[in-house]
């Protein structure tokens, strides 16, 4: 009996120890971490679009091809834009010609003023001389009246010449500072920019995705044509329940298992926590103020920056993952 009792005691002790070890293991695995299977790979995606409209004449890349910053992606027919540039250059030449003509008018108006002033001065001298001769009875009064009339006419001519000069001087002195010249120069700058934009280049290193564009297609300004997934921008969007956010903060390490690579572990770091739940930013947020309401724990996106991976484990946007954030 005593041996049976001792055996039972050993079994009880073993069970208690096993329970304690299990509790410690559970605390170690789950008490020091937060885990979720609601996690997906994401990355910075550039929606490639044209800045000018036109017909595509060449596509230089293929779907899923890797490109570097500055690589040519596709070309839009440049001929209409080259013609527009030539037209703008011709308009600038005409504007400058008109400006130079106006400058010539200033010189001519100034010459007229100088001539009118000289003629008026001579007429005034003649009038003074004739006035003295009339006083000495060497010249008739009619001659003096004629001299005065001529002097008054020349005074009017001078005023007209001065008004014309003032009008000519109201235009900018420098040709390139005139409004019409500046406008024509701006049109050239815009035409050059449009011509440059007929070749669309990669904004950064990355992988082409969802490419269906072909030569001959008509494209519009700002219409997304395909995607460029930026290198070194991959991260995990892990959706934790709001009740699991306690203790999670930026800088913590995370262990990541990606379903497409069974048995492989990837490392990451908590980068940020969203300012709202996933439903708060949806196109149709829930209307909890009407109808029957059932309380459901909401999920908050946590962004986890992935450590660089090797070439044998390329990442794909949208792939599922399991994330465990280490709280300590």
CATH of the domain at 61: 2.40.50.100
Q: Provide the CA 60 distance to its chain's centre, in angstroms.
A: 24
Check residue 168 and give its pLDDT.
66
Separation CA 210–CA 226 (nearest Å): 5
Task: Map 38-77 to HEC letters.
Answer: EEEEECCEEEECECCCEEEEEECCCCCCEECCCCEEEEEC
Whether residue 258 is found in the same domain as residue 172: no
User: How far apart (Å, rounded) are the C-alpha atoms in residues 227 and 222?
Assistant: 13
CB atoms within 10 A of CB 234: 23
DSSP 67-103: E-TT-EEEEE--HHHHHHHHHHHHHHHHHHHHHHHHH
Same domain, 165 and 207: no
Residues 142 and 105 in one domain: yes
Say whether both 123 and 169 belong to one domain.
yes
204 within domain boundaries: yes
| Domain-located, residue 249 | yes
The verdict on residue 17 lying in a domain is: no
Same structural domain, 180 and 153: yes
**Residues 157 and 218 both lie in one domain:** no
Do residues 152 and 237 both lie within one domain?
no
Distance CA 237, CA 268 (A): 11
Contact 48, 200 (CB under 8 A): yes
Mark whether 186 and 106 lie in a shared domain. Answer: yes
pLDDT computed for residue 101 by the predictor: 64
β 320-326/33-42 pair status: antiparallel
CATH number at residue 289: 2.40.30.170
**Residue 167 falls within a domain, yes or no?**
yes
Segment (H or E) for 163: helix 141-169
Kindly tell me the burial class for residue 146, based on how many C-beta atoms sit within 10 Å of its own C-beta (0-12, 13-18, 19 or more).
Answer: middle
Domain count along the chain = 3
| Same-domain check for residues 178 and 92 | yes
Angle at 66 between CA 64 and CA 67, to 5 degrees: 130
Pair (98, 183) in one structural domain: yes
Residues 258, 173 within the same domain:
no
Domain assignment present for residue 15? The answer is no
Domain shared by 73 and 85, yes or no: no
Question: What is the domain extent for residue 174?
Answer: 80-193
| 279 in Cβ contact with 298 (< 8 Å) | yes
Residue 200 phi/psi, 5-degree rounding, is -95, 125
Residue by residue, pLDDT tens for the chain (328 residues) are: 556 566 666 677 677 777 777 666 555 555 578 899 999 999 999 999 999 999 999 999 999 999 999 999 999 999 999 999 999 999 888 887 777 666 666 667 677 778 878 877 887 887 788 777 777 777 788 877 777 888 888 788 878 877 877 776 665 555 555 678 888 899 999 999 999 999 999 999 999 999 999 999 999 999 999 999 999 899 999 999 988 888 899 999 999 999 999 999 999 999 999 888 876 666 666 666 666 666 777 899 999 999 887 778 889 999 999 999 988 7
pTM of the model: 0.65
CB neighbour burial string for 87-121, b if at least 16 within 10 angstroms, e if fewer: ebeebbeebbeebeebbebbeebbebbeebeebbe
Q: Does residue 283 form part of some domain?
A: yes
Residue 221 per-residue DSSP state = B
Asked if residues 279 and 225 have their Cβ atoms less than 8 Å apart, the reply is no
Say what the pLDDT of residue 149 is. Answer: 84
Examine residue 4 and state whether it is found in any structural domain, yes or no: no
Q: Around Cβ 309, how many Cβ atoms within 10 Å?
A: 15
Q: Which of 193, 213, 240 is the last residue of a domain?
A: 193
Place of tokens 């001959």: 216
Give a yes or no: residue 24 inside a domain. Answer: no
pLDDT of residue 252: 92
């Amino acid at each position: 009996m005593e041996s049976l009792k001792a055996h039972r005691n050993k079994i009880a002790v073993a069970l208690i120890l096993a329970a304690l070890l299990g509790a410690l293991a559970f605390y170690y695995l789950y008490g020091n971490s937060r885990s979720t299977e609601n996690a997906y790979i994401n990355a910075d995606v550039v929606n490639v679009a044209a800045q000018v409209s036109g017909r595509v004449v060449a596509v230089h890349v293929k779907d899923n091809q890797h490109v570097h910053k500055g690589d040519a992606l596709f070309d839009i027919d440049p001929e209409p834009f080259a013609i527009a540039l030539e037209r703008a250059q011709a308009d600038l030449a005409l504007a400058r010609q008109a400006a130079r003509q106006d400058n010539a008018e200033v010189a001519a108006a100034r010459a007229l003023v100088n001539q009118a002033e000289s003629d008026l001065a001579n007429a005034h001298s003649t009038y003074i001389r004739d006035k003295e001769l009339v006083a000495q009875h060497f010249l008739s009064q009619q001659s003096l009246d004629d001299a005065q009339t001529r002097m008054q006419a020349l005074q009017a001519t001078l005023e007209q010449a001065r008004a014309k000069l003032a009008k000519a001087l109201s235009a900018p002195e420098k040709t390139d500072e005139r409004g019409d010249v500046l406008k024509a120069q701006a049109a050239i700058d815009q035409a050059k920019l449009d011509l440059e934009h007929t070749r669309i280049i990669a904004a950064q290193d990355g992988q082409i995705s969802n490419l269906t564009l072909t030569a001959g297609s008509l494209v519009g300004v700002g219409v997304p044509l395909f995607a460029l997934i930026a290198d070194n921008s991959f991260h995990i969007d892990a959706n934790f329940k709001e009740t699991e956010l306690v203790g999670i903060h930026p800088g913590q390490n995370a262990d990541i298992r990606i379903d497409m690579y069974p048995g492989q572990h990837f490392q990451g770091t908590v980068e940020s926590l969203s300012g709202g739940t996933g439903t708060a930013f949806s196109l149709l947020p829930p209307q909890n103020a009407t109808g029957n309401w059932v309380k459901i724990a909401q999920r908050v996106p946590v962004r986890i920056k992935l450590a660089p991976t090797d070439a044998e484990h390329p990442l794909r946007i949208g792939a599922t993952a399991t994330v465990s954030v280490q709280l300590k």
